[in-house]
A and B are shown apart, each in its own frame.
Chain A
Amino acid sequence: IRFILLQNRQGKTRLAKYYIPLEDSEKHKLEFEVHRLVVNRDPKFTNFVEFRTHKVIYRRYAGLFFSLCVDITDNELVYLESIHLFVEILDHFFSNVCELDLVFNFQKVYLILDEFILAGELQETSKKAIIERMGELERQE
């Protein structure tokens, strides 16, 4: 995985995690491009788009677009599943998550993400384990 982006329909980035080095300006440009790419696609179209030399796999949940950028050779369907798993975890953690939750608790969202994906690869696939872990981390505070 090269980067993960959560963007709303207006183009505001709610979460951006990069696993490749990029300058700030490049990041902004990239976010803008991805947003434009993803927002204009018809829901009937496939969830995979070619983007520069990689693929972007995206899915829309309510007003938020979850986009993952992966290599051309990766299995797209499995990343769709992982997006879904991530959303489920967020949902469970925040109890019926909505966009506002993500905005006000962004550091927690990042923590969850770090438990889920490390170094650009899936780390833990059990929802239960991640939630437990988050609970433990909270208790450490």
Chain B
Amino acid sequence: MGTRLRDMIRSIRACKTAADERAVVAKECATLRNAFKDNDQDFRHRNVAKLMFIHMLGYPTHFGQMECIKLIAAGSFPEKRIGYLGLMLLLDERQEVLMLVTNSLKNDLNHSNQFIVGLALCALGNICTAEMARDLAPEVEKLLHNNNSYIRKKAALCSLRIVRKVPELIDYVMVPATALLTDKHHGVLISGVKLCTELCEGSEVALQHFRKHVISLIRVLKNLVVSGYAPEYDVNGITDPFLQIRLLRLLSLLGKGDSETSDNMSDILAQVATNTEGSKNAGNAILYECVKTIMSIEAIGGLRVLAINILGRFLANRDNNIRYVALNTLVKVVSIDTQAVQRHRSTIVECVKDSDISIRRRALELICALVNVSNVKPLTKELMDYLKVSDPEFKGDLTAKISSLVQKFSPNKQWYIDQMILLMVEAGKYVTPDVTRALVVVISNASELQGYTVRALYRVFQAWDGQESLGQVTVWCIGEYGEMLIDNLNEVEGEEPLTVTESDAVDVVETVLKDIRVSPDTVAFSLTALLKLSSRFSHCADRLKGLILEYKGSVVLELQQRAIEFGSILSKHTNIKTALLERMPVLDEATYYSAKQVEVGVDANQTAKSGPHSNGHAKQPNGVAKHLAPETALIDLLSFLPDEQPSAPHQSSDDALLGSLGANVVTSSVPPLSGGADMLLELLSLGTPAAPPLASQESPLPASSQSSLRSSLLDADPFAVPKGSVVSHVMSDQTHNGPASNADPFANLAPLSKPTAAKNPAFPLLVAMQTSGLKITFEFTKQANSPQTTIIKATHTNLSSSPYSDYLFQAAVPKFMQLQLEPASSNILPANGGAVITQVIKATNNMHGQKAMVMKLRVSFKADGQNNLEQAQVNNFPVGL
């Protein structure tokens, strides 16, 4: 075997090029194939060895598989050895040829020669299939009791694999496995412990069974820990760390969820934790496993503190591996025990600056989990400092994390605004639109800080470098609070005085406007800001007008629209201009935040920035071109909305402004909805000023609805209906949680219908909607066990003389309610009340007792070949619902 094999290897290695090598290999393969065909007995094992080498080089060697099997069936040990080796290398468990080996394996398992038995077990353990496992399990189990520890060891691991393949055999193996636990030989012990671990993971019964043996396990571990120097198993001064770790793993499994067992273990765990030396890797490995074990069992507080201290020591270790491992574990620990981890905060902060990126990431996650109100300031400062020096890929993550931290934990608004400004200056392009929006919300809410903010932004702007977010916020603030900038209103103490003239302020906006790096959205912001400034500043009217009108011919539709409309406001409608351009009302932070936290895909955040723009648009007199997005049929639907409330455009602009902005513009999640019809539903849910295309980047709505929502549709919508959850009755088994809404906007709205509810204490019949052609009544019942839930039976009657088809009923509710619509009885409504459609609605009022139910209805149907749409709002639900 030796020389010929060596020669072949040498010749292959001597090849200089790949082509050469292929040639040599091909020749060898040909020789081998001939040899196999000739059934060459003597050199078979040498040939198979050669085959294996060729396989390792990566060439196909399927023709040799049968040879391996023949070798295995042969009598002598060397042949068997090569045969099994070849088997394990050239085949895997998915090959059918493996079945042929089963018989040989069986014979070998019963062989008298322990080495042959060992070989067989080895092969079986590495590549057996489920059938083979089943067939040979009895043999293996018998071997578990064998006197020879070598065999026992292999049999244990072989059973491991069998059990993995055929979980039903767990019980079969359980009892013999227990015997292994008390073995003297370390090899057997290790294998036995691993087998038991696997059994426990697989079956609850086994877990219970082994719990009883915890005491003996502990004893073994104790022996290992306190025993003196044992040269055979020693690794760097520690006796058999592998076995110790295996035992710890098993103990953690056994102790999990079981406090009695955990108590038994605490002594030994404490001992291991304190006695093991942490200077070498082996010791650290044991400590790490120990910590993991402590964390997973029901440990007492003291033990946990010990574990966390160990982790703290790890963190300070210079070895990257150890630090990585420590950070990893701390992330899991921090949810259980934040206090203890706080102590190591400074070390963790150091880790954030480490050069290894995986350590940095872990440290960052950990910090975010650690932050609370008291330490947010110093931590943020550290993170900001680091932001300046971090590399670009990391900056994005870091920025996102910092902004979320700041948002959640800022102690006061001024600090928040400061931090955000700093953040935008440093890493403006990584700041997402959500964050900018939140900032704007905060600013608008913090009336005392508005002057301060706009001045701070102005100062910072001198160093502007094209960062989108900074530009947007600055421009918006200047637009809103321009006069504060000029007149130094509302100075916050400690603020340096700043003299800014009107033209300076306009310069700033112009710079943003003209910069080529900004996106069209920012330009749109700037245009609006200029418009607003025109009412706040007295001297620059012409300049402002000139700037705006430059965009009259812009190729971006949105910009062109704005330019033209603004231009016309400035020139023709100066009388209402001031009223139009009053400051935006306070944006509602609370609803914004709670909306943000609603899981259900409330991604469709349209920015408050839509506010000013729709302000500009919304109450334009009818002379202005209707800027409804051309895209969708939805426009038609909404276009009639103003018709239904003709008074709206002529309401005092203040009211209208208030109304249109009352609630946060958060659209409800509509991911489950599909298809075009659903855009209707989204409309209903929208009800609020839609962001113009500007906000498109910020509203990742389902694609279909995106364009429609963006359109300044809702400029036309006077309702400012807060988002309700909209459920179409065709999708009756979905419930949505609508985003939060204020009750106020509802109050502002003039109800569309004139509901004629009789106020009875017991739930009376409510006429939800009645028009000339349609009547909808509600009957209420309460569910017995949940007072919050009301079952409403809605009855739809056709009062006109033509039948309605394609009748579709939809309902919307505010955020504190949930709605579930059952399928309607039909969608055809014969004329003159010939038959009725009934539908069951389940409404849950989460603020039962605090807020009354309200609901907005919309009905669409086809009559006389025409599509009709009716809407109504039901405010007067009986008290007690």
Contacts and interface: CB of A to CB of B under 8 A. Distances in A.
Interface of A: 13-16, 18-19, 21-22, 24, 28, 42, 44-48, 75-78, 80-82, 84-85, 103-104, 106-107, 110-111, 114, 118-129, 133, 136-137, 140-141
A70 B94 CA distance: 21
A28 B71 CA distance: 27
Contact of A22 (B56, B92, B284): B92
Given A114-B122, A119-B158, A119-B160, 20 more contacts: A48-B324, A75-B245, A76-B325, A78-B289, A80-B285, A81-B241, A82-B242, A104-B9, A106-B52, A118-B157, A124-B187, A124-B190, A125-B233, A125-B243, A126-B187, A129-B187, A133-B150, A140-B78, A140-B81, A140-B115
B194 A78 contact: no
Contacts of A19: 126
A122 B242 contact: yes
Contact of B82 (A18, A75, A84, A107): A107
B191 interface: yes
B281 A81 contact: yes
A128 to B, nearest CB: 5
Contact of B356 (A18, A24, A46, A80): A46
B815 interface: no
Contacts of B127: 21
A116 B160 CA distance: 15
Nearest to A118: B157
B724 interface: no
Interface in B310-329: 320-322, 324-325
Interface of B: 6, 9, 13, 49, 52-53, 56, 58, 60, 77-78, 81-82, 85, 88-89, 92-94, 115, 121-122, 125-127, 150, 153-154, 157-158, 160-161, 186-187, 190-191, 194, 232-233, 235, 240-243, 245-246, 249, 281-282, 284-285, 288-289, 292, 320-322, 324-325, 355-356, 358-359
A6 to B, nearest CB: 10
B243 A77 contact: no
A110 B89 contact: yes
Nearest to B12: A103
B282 A81 contact: yes
Given A21-B93, A107-B49, A45 B358 contact: yes
B355 A78 contact: no
A48 B320 CA distance: 10
B242 A141 contact: no
A121 B281 contact: no
Contact of B321 (A48, A125, A126, A136): A48
30 contacts: A15-B56, A16-B56, A19-B126, A21-B92, A28-B58, A42-B356, A45-B356, A46-B324, A47-B321, A48-B324, A77-B321, A77-B325, A78-B242, A106-B56, A107-B82, A107-B85, A114-B122, A114-B126, A118-B125, A118-B126, A121-B191, A123-B187, A123-B190, A124-B187, A125-B186, A125-B190, A125-B233, A127-B232, A137-B81, A140-B78
Nearest to A85: B235
Nearest to B280: A81
Contacts of B194: 121-122
A47 B53 CA distance: 29
Contacts of A75: 245, 249, 285, 288-289, 292
Contacts of B160: 119, 121
B71 to A, nearest CB: 13
A137 B116 CA distance: 10
A13 B190 CA distance: 30
A22 to B, nearest CB: 7
Contacts of A121: 157, 160, 191, 194
A106 B53 contact: yes
Given A21-B94, A122-B190, A137 B158 contact: no
A45 B321 CA distance: 8
A33 B400 CA distance: 31
A22 B243 CA distance: 30
B163 to A, nearest CB: 10
Contact of B281 (A18, A80, A125, A141): A80
A31 B284 CA distance: 30
A16 to B, nearest CB: 7
Given A78-B285, A125-B187, A141 B125 contact: no
